[in-house]
A and B are shown apart, each in its own frame.
Chain A
Amino acid sequence: MKKSLMLLVTVVFSFTALAGCGGGSKPEQEAGGDKTQSDSSQISEKKVNEFGWEMPDKTIEINFYSGQDNPDKVNKYQAELQKYILEKFNVKLHNIVYDVDQKEKLNLMLASGDYPEVITGLNESQAQQWVNQGKAVEIGQYVDQSGANIKSQLETWYKSYPSQDGKLYMLPKYWGLLPIPDNSAHIRNDWYVAMGSPSFETPEQYYDILKQMQAAHPKNAKGEKTYALSGIAPVTTNMVPTLAGMWGLQNGYKVSPEGDMTHWVNTEEGLELTKFMNQIYRDGLLDPDTFVNKFDEWKAKFSSERIMGHIGPWWQSWNAGHEVWQKTNKDWKEDQRYVQVALKAAGVEKSYLSPKNARGGTFTIITDKAKHPEDIVKWMNFSITDMGTRLMGWGAPNQPDSVWKFENGKWSWVEEAKQAIINATWNYDKSDTLGQTYLMLVEGQGTMKDDGKSTLWFDQNFNNEAKWKKVMNDNLKDTIYDNSLGSITIPANDPLLITQQQIDDQLETLWAKTVMSKTEDEMTNNFNVLKDKLNRAGLHDIEKYRSDVYKDRMKNWK
């Protein structure tokens, strides 16, 4: 008995002792700042730094929660920029993330009352939830006082953010029109060139080329079978909206000039695109795992040179294509890659592949935990400017490893960094350690107003010089469209959310079955079953909701 009790007591003691020790360690002290600067702050007049920012007497602290991520990484990556902004601006930004599902964490925050003064990365209905609970601060008055830049940068969109009663609670992040493509069709470049670069425009012609290409390369180096196309599940989210865009639909919906939205399964075009996929399946050229692959599994196949083409975001064929090959294959040549191409179905006026939401899809709120919301708005009023956006997107200037310089009120690129991006030799680990985009609150991603071309994304600034980016952008420039009106989310706690979930679940299952039909008749049959089931589950209600919001926005926003 004594032995066991002693053990228990020892254990309890050792952990209490340990708990005591743990409290002793303090976070690292900030390295001593620029001496000259703090000396000059004695002068009664406010000091203005080289960015035109009026230094506050007391450090403005902004802790913000930004969603799910790996906290160790985020803390490491934000450190350098955080330090720079503290020194030069006397503002301390701190990005907090947790490795817990964002939705769950937000609900726990709401329930426990334990949250920081700013929350970012919310979608509109999440932000609205905080407003409804009275936990978001009304910021319209502060913007009126000291938010001139916020108003001028957001321009006409500014009036779209206040809630029904005219009060402003949220500001957007990643707003603005970024004139670079998101989605496209892809084709293996060197094999295509070897075929004599035959021209194509419609999805059918594209598939025909993939088919010939597959016939020329029926097996990869390891002797595994190759396919024309594959996909990443859920395919109805990852691939179909782009495919539908080739048939003239916008983000999966047919939009009439009056603003009526029809889901693609209820359109002729939807049947056509299903027919297109079914043909590939029946030819045995659709990867049988198309509806099962997760990204890693798709990437394994794709990087093993087993897929001729792809339909989806532009970067996927980079990430899973030549970015793998250039590191694993010593003899890799730069034309061994995929190029991004536009497709347009016959008789369709315009192809809509990359929906852009200029209004911003995610939002930032200031919570009731903020003691001085006006100071936070002041910071936002700086960081939303073109120069503020550069600082947030590219990291601190004039440092040993910076990518840009800022001297005498003028900015310029660091030539080596620029060349590295153009030559595709840039080491992206460096982007992270510079803190690029880690401390963003309200910055836009569109082209900046002062020079009309630079953008928040550091690696997207030299697209005309970078050979393959230019090819992509030239190929796809007519497929980008403004989808600000059409990006609609259903509010939290609306029963339509359940309908939406049921439809999403069934759509993926039934569409997979339809595509994998053995004959065209069977396919048409299955498609009609799919349509009926979804409409019975309430698809028309969703269409109606979206149409109403769309029409409302047409009236109020433009």
Chain B
Amino acid sequence: MWLISIPMILWVLVFCYIPMYGIIIAFMNYIPGKPMFSSDWVGFLHFKTFFHSPDFWHVIRNTLAISGLGIVFGFTAPIILALLLNELRGRIFKRFVQTVSYLPHFISWVVVASILFATLGNEGFMNDILLRLGFIDKPISFLGEGKYFWGVLTTTNVWKDVGWATIIYLSAIAGVDSELYDAGKVDGLGRFGMVWHIILPSIRPTIVLLFILGIGGILNAGFEQQLLIGNSQTREYYEVIDTYAYKYGIQLGNYSYGAAIGFLKGIISLLLVLAANRISKKALDTSIL
């Protein structure tokens, strides 16, 4: 067994752990071009700067809000879609819908942003309909007002990735032993009963796993979509940890600052995932480790 593992361990050491020496620049004032170890040590200075930055609180608030909405909607939508797809009767129709549902995943955010502008802009499709139906008398600036941003972003994220995320649930449903269905039939389970008593329990490990990883990923609230859909007027609602670290770290040549934020994020994520796993082990007897 170890024989098989050793090459894999070597691989992970080389490609993942060796570059991790880069983390130490979080404690230095690194300037690209100088040898990394000759830079000045500054201890926790960059961490302190981040905590005291005027943007700190709204960056944290936005990250948690967008991720939280992502877990509530982005996490449940694919499960529901997978179950609904599974209930479709026509084989060809089912396959067709599945294929179509994952297409938006291929559209780059640049294109998504321009489509959003045409749909949700002040003169977009949505305002046009609402105006005609008389629900509003002045266009709503969906993209230009901060209070709509989280909703717009969450909807777009769900739209883009719901079909994509469904794939793994479909594969889990396909893995359900057909003997279980037969047993269900014998017990006289209806359609809904089959879903509730057979399919859901069978795919529970996958659901739990993705939920735990979702908790661990709570600080990853997106990056490209924020930069492309967000604008100066929604900045106070779109700036999340990753966009902030990019702007103030890499863009300003401040690699150490970016690294410090990244390191902090990694630690918190790992702790969160371990905690979520522990709870899941106790409450649901499912562990990912």
Contact = CB atoms under 8 A, between A and B. Distances in A.
A492 B122 contact: no
Given A111-B32, A288-B141, A292-B121, A501 B247 contact: yes
A493 B123 contact: no
Contact of B232 (A103, A104, A291): A291
Contacts of A107: 32-33, 253, 255
A501 B248 contact: yes
A292 B231 contact: yes
B254 interface: yes
B28 interface: no
A537 B54 contact: yes
A289 interface: yes
B270 interface: no
B31 interface: yes
B32 A233 contact: no
Interface residues of A, number: 33
A350 to B, nearest CB: 31
Interface in B247-270: 247-248, 250-255
Nearest to B247: A501
Interface in B239-289: 247-248, 250-255
A224 B34 contact: no
Contacts, number: 79
A408 interface: no
B182 interface: no
Interface residues of B, number: 28
Contacts of B33: 107, 110-111, 129-130, 133, 135
B235 interface: yes
Contacts of A129: 31, 33, 253
Given A291-B233, A502-B54, A104 B121 contact: no
Contacts of B184: none
Contacts of A497: 252-254
Contact of A110 (B32, B54, B122): B32
A336 B231 CA distance: 33
B114 A296 contact: yes
B37 to A, nearest CB: 13
Contacts of B122: 288-289
Contacts of A111: 32-33
A505 B247 CA distance: 10
B40 to A, nearest CB: 11
A478 interface: no
B252 A233 contact: no
A369 to B, nearest CB: 14
A297 B113 CA distance: 11
B222 to A, nearest CB: 18
A223 to B, nearest CB: 12
A133 B253 CA distance: 14
Contacts of B144: 288-289, 291-292
Contact of A297 (B114, B139, B253): B114
Contacts of B161: none
Interface in B132-191: 139, 141, 143-144
Interface string A197-230: 0000000000000000000000000001100000
Contacts of A297: 114, 117, 121
B55 interface: yes
A512 to B, nearest CB: 5
A509 interface: yes
Interface in B1-55: 31-34, 54-55
B250 A512 contact: no
A529 interface: no
A107 B251 CA distance: 11
B143 A103 contact: no
A367 B135 CA distance: 64
**Which of A133, A233, A234, A498 gathers most chain B CB within 10 Å?**
A498
Given A129-B33, A509-B232, A501 B250 contact: no
A501 B54 CA distance: 12
A508 interface: yes
Nearest to A504: B232
A298 to B, nearest CB: 11
A289 B121 contact: yes
Contacts of A498: 248, 252, 254
Contacts of A110: 32-33
Contact of B139 (A224, A288, A509, A512): A288
A5 to B, nearest CB: 14
Contacts of B54: 502, 537
B236 to A, nearest CB: 7
A501 B257 CA distance: 14
B253 A493 contact: yes
B253 to A, nearest CB: 5
**Which of B32, B54, B55, B254 gathers most chain A CB within 10 Å?**
B32
19 contacts: A103-B251, A103-B253, A104-B250, A107-B253, A110-B32, A111-B33, A130-B33, A133-B33, A288-B144, A291-B233, A292-B143, A493-B253, A493-B254, A498-B248, A501-B252, A502-B55, A508-B235, A509-B232, A537-B54
Given A289-B121, A292-B231, A493-B253, 9 more contacts: A103-B253, A107-B32, A108-B32, A133-B34, A135-B33, A292-B233, A492-B253, A501-B248, A501-B251
**9 shortest interchain CB distances as A-B pairs:** A110-B33, A508-B232, A107-B32, A133-B33, A288-B122, A110-B32, A111-B32, A509-B232, A292-B231
